[in-house]
C-alpha cells in the first residue's frame, strides 16, 4: 500500500468510526466505562475527551460552505471502531448498524450497500487527513449529536453497546443507559436526563429510576440509577451515573424551583411542612373595596337538598336583579326545577335577560357549580325578553328533569320594567304546564340552614398594590373576616337578617397597576374547590380536571413578567366548592 493510500485508508477508517458513534450530549462520571464524551472545536485543532483537552492535527470541526466535517481517524482511535481494509477489492470496509460502507480512495468513490456515492459529497481531505460529513452520524448509526453554536463545538457522546444476553426463548435482555445534558448543574437547576436505553428486540420499555430528581438542592455528586424492563419481563442490569452539582444557586428550594419552572395550570402537591413553610399565615394585601349595589341578588340555596316538592325561595324584583339557585334532588323520584315569574300589577311587565350561566342536571356538585360559573363569566351578549301579563304567571326557566341525586346551578342577570315575583320551585316532573298548578303548589319548604335570602351586593372590586411586595402575599375569599359575608333579608321567613356564607352569586374584580414579576397560585382551604377565573381576560380552570383538595395541592394559575401595565382577575364563588380559598402571589426574583 502506498503512503498516499495508507493515509486515505486511515482517514476512511475513521469515517466508519464516526458513523458507528452513538452521539448524544452526555456528561458526568459514570460507573460504566463504555460511555465517552467528546467535544470537537470548530476550526480549532482541539478536542475534549471526558473533560480532558487534546490537540489534533486537523480542526475538530471543519466548516466548508454549509456543511461541517469531522476527523475520522481521530474519532476512530478514540471510539475503537472496527475498520478493515480488503486487499482484494482495495476498499476500506466499514460495518455499521444500518449499512455496509466501502470506500475506494483510489477512485474517490463511496459505496453504501453497493450504491455508488461521489466521494466529494461526503468527505474532504485536509492536510492529507480525511474529514467526513457530520450528518453521517445520524444517517447510519441513529446517533444523536448537538452542535453548540455559542461555544462553537460539536458535542458527541459515544456509548458502546454491550453484547446482548439472550434467554431460552431467544429474547435479549434490554439495556439501561442514560446521560446528562451537561457536566455540572447549579443548585436548583433543572437536570436534563437523556435516555439512551434500548431493547435489542426493539420492544417498548418500562423505566425504574432511583435517585432521579428534577433538580438537586445540595452541592456535590448525586447518584442516579436506572433499570429497564421489556414486554417479556426481562430486566436490564442497573446502570449508574453521578450528577455533579456546583455551589452556585439557581433556585434555593424545591418549592421555589417548581413555582419558577412548572407549566402553568400545574398542580403542586404539598405536605404540611411545605404548607407551614410557604403558604400558612401569609400577610394579606391591603385592599380598597368598591361594591356595586344597583342590582338585587336573590339566592335560593335552602333547602339545598330538597326532599319534598314546593317553593324553595321567592321574592319581588323591580329593576335589576341576579337570580342564583343551587339545589339537589333528595327525593326518590324525578322532579323538575322551575323559576316562575308572576306579575302582581295591572300593567304588563317585561323581563330582559342580560347574562346567564346554567348547566344541565348532574350528580356532581362541583361540576355544576364550575360549568355555570364558566358560562356566566363568559358574559356573552343576551337579548332575551319575556312579557308577563298583569295578574298572571309565566315560566321564566324550566330545566330538564332532575333524576334522584341530581342537581343544578343557575345564574341569571335580569332587568324588569315593573314588579315581578320570582319563585324558585321543585315540581312534579309529569306536569306539562307548571303555570296551571302553580297556585296549588304554593307551599314554602322549610329552611335547612343553607343560604336563602335577598342581598344588596352583586359585585365587589378590590384594588390592590401588587407592584412591589417582597414576600408571598394573599387574597382571602369567603372567610368572613378579610372577606366579610354580606347580610340580607329573607321575606319568606320574615327574618330581617340572613348571611350569604361565602358570598355566592357575587362577582369579584381584582385590579392592580404594574404588577411585579410573580406567580399566582390558588390554595383551597375550606374543602374541595373547582371553578374558573379570568386573568387579564383569559380563562383559567382551577383545576383543569377534577378538584383541588384543601391544603394538599396548590395550582399555578398564572405568572407575570413585571412588564404588564396591569393585572385584572375576575372570579365568582362556584357552587359546590367550599370556602375560604386563597389566591397567593409569590414573588419571582
Residue 6 pLDDT > 70: no
- pLDDT score of 168 more than 70: no
Torsion of CA 557, 574, 295, 444, to 10 degrees: 180
pLDDT at 437: 65
For position 496, what pLDDT does the model report? 77
User: CA dist 442 to 381, 434, 438, Å?
Assistant: 34, 12, 6
Per-residue pLDDT of 182-200, as tens digits, reads 989 999 999 999 999 988 8
Spatial CA neighbour of 183 closest among 240, 243, 224, 143: 243
Chain segment 12-42, per-residue pLDDT in tens: 444 443 333 333 333 333 334 467 788 899 9
| pLDDT value at 161 more than 90 | no
In this prediction, residues 518-544 reach a mean pLDDT of 96
pLDDT score of 3: 46
Q: Where are the domains of the chain?
A: 3-159, 178-252, 260-291+459-587, 302-450
> Residue 473: enclosing H or E segment and its boundaries?
strand 473-477
Q: In CATH, what number does 3-159 get?
A: 3.30.457.10
pLDDT in tens, 99-154: 677 878 788 887 877 878 888 888 888 887 878 888 766 666 656 778 998 899 98
Residues 443, 449, 454, 459: is their CA dihedral positive or negative?
negative
The grid coordinates of residue 71 equal 476527523
Please give the C-alpha separations between residue 541 and each of 252, 356, 502, 510, in angstroms, as whole numbers: 29, 19, 19, 17
pLDDT at 481 exceeding the cut of 90: yes
- Between 148-152, 214-218, 247-251, 344-348, the lowest mean confidence (pLDDT) is in 148-152
Which pLDDT does position 345 carry in this prediction? Answer: 94
Least confident of 21-35, 326-340, 518-532: 21-35
Q: What is the pLDDT of residue 434?
A: 76
H or E element: which one contains 384? strand 384-388
Topology of the domain comprising 302-450: Jelly Rolls (2.60.120)
Q: Which fold has domain 178-252?
A: Immunoglobulin-like (2.60.40)
What is the pLDDT of the chain when averaged over all its residues? 87
Lowest mean pLDDT among 343-352, 382-391, 497-506: 382-391
* From 53-62, 458-467, 550-559, the region with the lowest mean pLDDT: 53-62
Q: Give me the percent of the chain exceeding a pLDDT of 70.
A: 88
Residue with cell 372577606: 483
pTM above 0.75, yes or no: no
β-strands 62-64, 123-126 pairing: unpaired
> Alpha-carbon distance 90 to 64, whole Å?
29
> 387 or 431, which is more confident?
387
Percent of the chain clearing pLDDT 90 (strictly above): 63
Closest CA to 102 of 126, 80, 119, 124: 119
Residue 149: left (phi > 0), alpha (psi -120 to 50), or beta?
alpha
Coil/strand/helix, residue 512: strand
Highest mean pLDDT among 13-27, 484-498, 547-561: 547-561
Cα-based angle 302, 306, 310 (whole degrees, multiple of 5): 90
Q: Are 315 and 455 in contact (CB under 8 A)?
A: no
Helix locations, 286-406, DSSP H: 365-378
pLDDT for 141? 62
Cell matching residue 543 = 383545576
Amino acid at each position: 500500500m502506498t503512503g498516499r493510500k495508507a493515509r486515505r485508508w486511515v482517514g476512511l477508517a475513521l469515517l466508519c468510526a464516526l458513523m458507528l458513534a452513538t452521539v448524544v450530549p452526555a456528561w458526568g462520571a459514570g460507573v460504566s466505562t463504555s460511555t465517552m464524551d467528546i467535544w470537537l472545536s470548530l476550526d480549532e485543532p482541539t478536542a475534549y475527551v471526558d473533560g480532558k483537552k487534546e490537540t489534533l492535527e486537523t480542526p475538530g470541526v471543519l466548516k466548508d460552505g454549509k456543511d461541517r466535517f469531522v476527523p475520522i481517524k481521530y474519532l476512530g482511535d478514540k471510539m475503537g471502531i472496527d475498520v478493515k481494509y480488503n486487499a482484494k477489492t482495495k476498499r476500506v470496509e466499514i460495518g455499521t448498524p444500518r449499512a455496509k460502507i466501502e470506500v475506494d480512495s483510489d477512485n474517490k468513490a463511496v459505496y453504501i450497500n453497493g450504491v455508488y456515492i461521489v466521494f466529494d459529497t461526503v468527505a474532504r481531505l485536509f492536510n492529507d487527513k480525511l474529514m467526513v460529513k457530520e450528518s453521517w452520524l445520524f444517517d447510519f448509526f441513529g446517533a444523536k449529536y448537538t452542535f453548540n453554536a455559542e461555544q462553537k463545538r460539536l458535542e458527541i457522546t459515544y456509548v458502546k453497546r454491550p453484547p446482548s444476553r439472550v434467554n431460552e426463548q431467544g429474547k435479549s435482555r434490554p439495556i439501561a443507559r442514560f446521560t446528562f445534558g451537561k457536566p455540572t448543574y447549579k443548585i436548583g437547576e433543572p437536570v436534563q436526563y437523556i435516555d439512551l436505553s434500548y431493547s435489542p428486540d426493539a420492544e417498548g420499555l418500562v423505566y425504574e429510576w432511583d435517585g432521579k430528581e428534577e433538580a438537586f438542592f445540595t452541592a456535590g455528586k448525586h447518584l442516579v440509577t436506572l433499570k429497564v424492563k421489556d414486554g417479556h419481563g426481562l430486566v436490564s442490569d442497573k446502570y449508574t451515573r453521578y450528577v455533579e452539582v456546583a455551589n452556585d444557586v439557581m433556585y434555593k428550594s424545591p418549592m421555589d424551583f417548581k413555582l419558577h419552572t412548572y407549566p402553568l395550570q400545574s398542580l403542586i402537591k404539598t405536605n404540611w411542612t411545605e404548607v407551614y413553610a410557604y403558604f400558612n399565615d401569609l400577610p394579606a394585601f391591603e385592599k380598597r373595596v368598591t361594591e356595586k349595589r344597583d342590582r338585587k341578588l336573590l339566592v335560593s340555596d335552602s333547602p339545598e337538598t330538597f326532599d319534598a316538592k314546593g317553593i324553595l325561595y321567592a321574592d319581588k324584583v323591580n329593576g335589576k336583579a341576579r337570580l342564583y339557585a343551587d339545589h339537589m334532588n333528595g327525593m326518590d323520584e324525578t322532579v323538575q326545577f322551575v323559576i316562575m315569574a308572576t306579575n302582581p300589577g295591572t300593567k304588563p311587565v317585561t323581563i330582559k335577560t342580560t347574562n346567564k350561566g346554567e348547566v344541565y342536571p348532574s350528580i356532581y356538585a362541583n361540576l355544576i357549580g364550575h360549568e355555570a360559573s364558566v358560562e356566566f363569566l363568559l358574559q356573552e351578549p343576551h337579548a332575551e325578553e319575556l312579557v308577563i301579563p298583569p295578574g298572571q304567571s309565566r315560566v321564566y326557566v324550566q330545566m330538564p328533569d332532575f333524576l334522584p341525586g341530581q342537581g343544578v346551578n343557575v345564574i341569571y342577570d335580569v332587568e324588569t320594567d315593573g314588579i315581578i315575583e320570582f319563585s324558585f320551585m321543585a315540581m312534579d316532573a309529569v306536569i306539562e304546564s307548571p303555570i296551571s298548578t302553580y297556585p296549588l303548589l304554593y307551599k314554602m319548604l322549610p329552611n335547612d340552614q343553607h343560604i336563602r335570602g335577598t342581598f344588596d351586593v352583586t359585585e365587589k372590586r378590590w384594588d390592590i398594590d401588587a407592584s412591589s411586595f417582597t414576600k408571598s402575599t394573599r387574597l382571602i375569599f369567603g372567610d368572613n373576616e378579610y372577606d366579610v359575608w354580606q347580610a340580607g333579608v329573607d321575606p319568606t321567613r320574615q327574618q330581617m337578617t340572613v348571611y350569604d356564607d361565602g358570598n355566592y352569586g357575587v362577582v369579584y374584580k381584582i385590579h392592580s397597576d404594574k404588577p411585579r414579576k410573580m406567580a399566582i397560585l390558588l390554595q383551597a382551604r375550606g374543602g374541595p374547590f373547582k371553578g374558573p377565573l379570568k386573568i387579564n381576560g383569559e380563562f383559567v380552570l382551577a383545576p383543569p380536571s377534577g378538584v383541588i383538595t384543601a391544603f394538599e395541592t396548590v395550582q399555578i394559575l398564572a405568572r407575570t413578567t413585571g412588564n404588564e401595565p396591569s393585572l385584572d382577575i375576575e372570579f365568582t364563588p362556584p357552587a359546590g366548592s367550599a370556602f375560604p380559598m386563597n389566591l397567593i402571589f409569590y414573588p419571582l426574583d
